[in-house]
Amino acid sequence: METAWEALAWADPSPAGAVDAKEDARGAWRIDAFCETLEEAEECVALIEEAAPELTARIEEIVERDWVTLSLEGLPPVNAGPFVVAGSHALTQSSPGKISVLIEAGPAFGTGHHGTTLGCLLALAEARRYRKPGRVLDLGTGSGVLAIAALKVGAEMASGTDIDRDSVFVARENAKKNHVSRFFVHHVAGANNPAIRQAGPYDTVFANILMKPLIGLAGEIEQLSAPGATIILSGLLHHQAAPVRAAYEGHNLLFQKRIKRDGWSTLVFRKKG
């Protein structure tokens, strides 16, 4: 299943406008890929069948409806420790005393509802009890929700990267809507950007992506991290956590804890120093 998920989510460009994976009560997984044209849907099916021949893929036409309104109705505020993440339609319903992060439903990943984003926010909430976020690096920033949350609790600045141009635009707009400054978003894969390196080293690093790129980035993330830095990794199904943990411990990063939410794992490390 994860090979099919990675084939769709990591394709550049991806034929799917959005990809989601969910586990039902029986432990069975389902991948949904949303496309604008039949040609794109057929390309998704081909990618799935090539990556995971054992899976069955089918195309369903979605009836035209006001999906923005419907998606907003289905997205209540998300509470993650001291944070509440919601669109403008629901933010007024949020709990008093919470740190509000305004994120509208849209094309970029990260409304706080997914187990990976929620796990990262909970990890940030715990880490800030012992150390300020300082300088933040957010690899695969999506909507920018994690960097924005860190800036709202005192981060000095944040660098974000994403391979998707729409996400880069959305993250920048979300920073404006949340009235945070010093959030610099770059259209680049991983940390392969001179501006990213020059802005380091980083005290907090988020990487909410996929297992294979996480393993591949272990060395770069260790080099970009300041002594004592907190490294928060997600985008992992539970059975993928062990090889990622081994890769980062192999770079002398200290494993701190694992957070499980909705079938997904978030791993927290600390750099010695």
Please report the DSSP string for 60-109 in residue order: -PPPP--HHHHHHHT---EEETTEEEE-HHHHTTSPTTSEEEE--SSSSS
- Choose among 115, 126, 139: nearest CA to 260: 115
**pLDDT tens string 223-248:** 999 999 999 999 999 999 999 999 99
d(CA 81, CA 251): 30
Binding site for S-adenosyl-L-methionine, by residue number, is: 117, 140, 162, 208
d(CA 142, CA 111): 9
Q: SS3 for 273? A: coil
> Do 269 and 256 form a contact (C-beta atoms < 8 A)?
yes
Binding site, by residue number, is: 117, 140, 162, 208
d(CA 227, CA 203): 8
Q: What global pTM score does this model have?
A: 0.76
CA distances for 107 relative to 165, 175, 206, angstroms: 11, 16, 20
> Do 246 and 229 form a contact (C-beta atoms < 8 A)?
no
Beta strand pairing call for 78-80 and 83-86: antiparallel
DSSP state for residue 11 in the 8-state scheme: -
In the chain, the domains with their CATH numbers are 2-51 (no CATH), 109-271 (3.40.50.150)
Q: SS3 for 140? A: coil
CA distances for 202 relative to 48, 171, 191, 227, angstroms: 37, 19, 12, 9
Query: How many Cβ atoms from other residues are within 10 Å of residue 71's Cβ?
Result: 14
The residues of the chain scoring below 70 in pLDDT are: 1, 24-25, 63-75, 89-95, 105-113
